[in-house]
Each structure stands twice: as C-alpha cells, then as structure tokens.
Amino acid sequence: MASYTRNKDRILEAAWQLFWERGYFATSIGDVAAAAGLPKGSIYNYFSSKDDLLVEVLNRLKYHTETELRLKLLEGTISPDVIVTRLLDHYLQEFERVGYGRGDPVGCRLNELADVRPELAQRIEHLQVAWRAVVAQKIWAWATVRRIPALVENAEELASLIWAALQGVLLQMKVLHSPQPLREAKHTLVPMVAAYVGALATGEVGA
C-alpha cells in the first residue's frame, strides 16, 4: 500500500508539472510516466484515463483554494483592494520560479478545453467556482463589518470580476514572460477596485 501511494504521488506531481508547463493536449501519458520514472502502462493502474488524471491533478488545488487561500494568503478581514494586492504579490512570487512563462493552472486549462473538450472543462469548472467563493466570502465579511450593504449584495459579482481581471493579467504575464503586467495591475486594478468599493459605500453606484 505504501508503494502504491508513493507511485501515485509521483504520477500526480509529474502530471501537475507537465500539464502546467505544456498544457493538456501537449502532454501524453508516456510523458507523465517518463517524468515519474515509471512504465507507461503502470499509469493505468492508478488512473483510468488522461482525463481522470487531469481532474485529480487539479483537484489537488482544492485544498489550496479552500484552505491556503482563505486562512493564509487572505487571512483576516481585509478590503477588496487589499485582496487584489495580496493576490498580485502572491503571483509575483509564485511565477518567478518559472520565469513568468506559465499562466494560472486552472484558468489556462479551462481556456484550453472549453471549445474542444467542453465536458472535461465542466469537470474542473468547480475549481474556478471555489476560488470565487472564497474571495466573495472575504468581500462579504469585510463589507458586513464596514456596513456597506451594496457591497454585501455585490460580493459575488465583484469576486467574479476580480477573477476575470486577474486571468487577463496572468495571460499577459505568460505571453510576455514578464512580471510587468502584475506590477502594472497593482497601479491600475487595485485603485479601480478601491474606487468601485468607495462608490458603493457612498451610494454613487447602486447595488
């Protein structure tokens, strides 16, 4: 059993790196087996298909999304602009080690699969939903403490807008292999979010 678990972990780690680096279609089961140091056929002792392997690889992010994001990266009752700032700072560190040449692992896979493998994209869509839910809960908590009803009502919508904006920033980063889009977002996206929240708080923008 210990050997089974070790081999499965090796496969998942190898697949995680390859799917993130190359994408789903450019990664074969043979590539994963070679990276894991295992015979190609042995992969099917752990996963019935490449689809199932991708789903389980990305499901490993669920812990990060629901625990690391909520309790560490976005710890405390923080405003939406601080949420965006912390996320951008995290991405600056996280992507530095890969030369800023890879995008968000979930967002990129959804974009890759949406048109050609929509049924597979649907199997991992819940990870995007989980991310947005954590951010929405953080926005809701801060808005509740600050007594901003309009923001409480718009917490989910703002979380979705933040997700979309950050995906665009990460895509630019990946294309340019540069942290510049992240740094520019700190000077543009962060104050835009703060201004929107301020407008909701004063009633300049309706709920």
CATH of the domain at 47: 1.10.10.60
pLDDT at 132 over 90: yes
Q: Could you tell me the two tokens for 6?
A: 């070790």
Radius of gyration of the chain (CA): 19
126 and 167 in one domain?
A: yes
The rounded distance, in Å, linking the Cα atoms of 2 and 51 is 25
CA distances to 57, 65, 122, 156 from 119, in Å: 17, 22, 5, 25
The rounded distance, in Å, linking the Cα atoms of 119 and 33 is 25
pLDDT at 116 over 80: yes
Tell me the mean pLDDT in the region 20-30.
94
86 and 140 in one domain?
A: yes
The rounded distance, in Å, linking the Cα atoms of 188 and 182 is 10
191 and 91 in one domain?
A: yes
Tell me the mean pLDDT in the region 114-136.
93
66 and 11 in one domain?
A: no
Residue 39 resides in a domain: yes
Report the number of distinct structural domains present in the chain. 2
Q: pTM for the whole thing?
A: 0.90
pLDDT at 33: 95
41 and 83 in one domain?
A: no
Closest CA to 135 of 154, 158, 152: 158
Residue 180 resides in a domain: yes
Residue 207 resides in a domain: no
The rounded distance, in Å, linking the Cα atoms of 98 and 58 is 18
111 and 33 in one domain?
A: no
Range of the domain at 187: 60-202
pLDDT averaged over every residue in the chain: 93
Confidence of residue 2 (pLDDT cuts 50, 70, 90): low
112 and 17 in one domain?
A: no
pLDDT at 207 over 60: no
pLDDT, tens digit (0-9, with 9 covering 90-100), for 77-108: 999 999 999 999 999 999 999 999 999 999 99
9 and 94 in one domain?
A: no
Cα 30 off chain centre by: 27
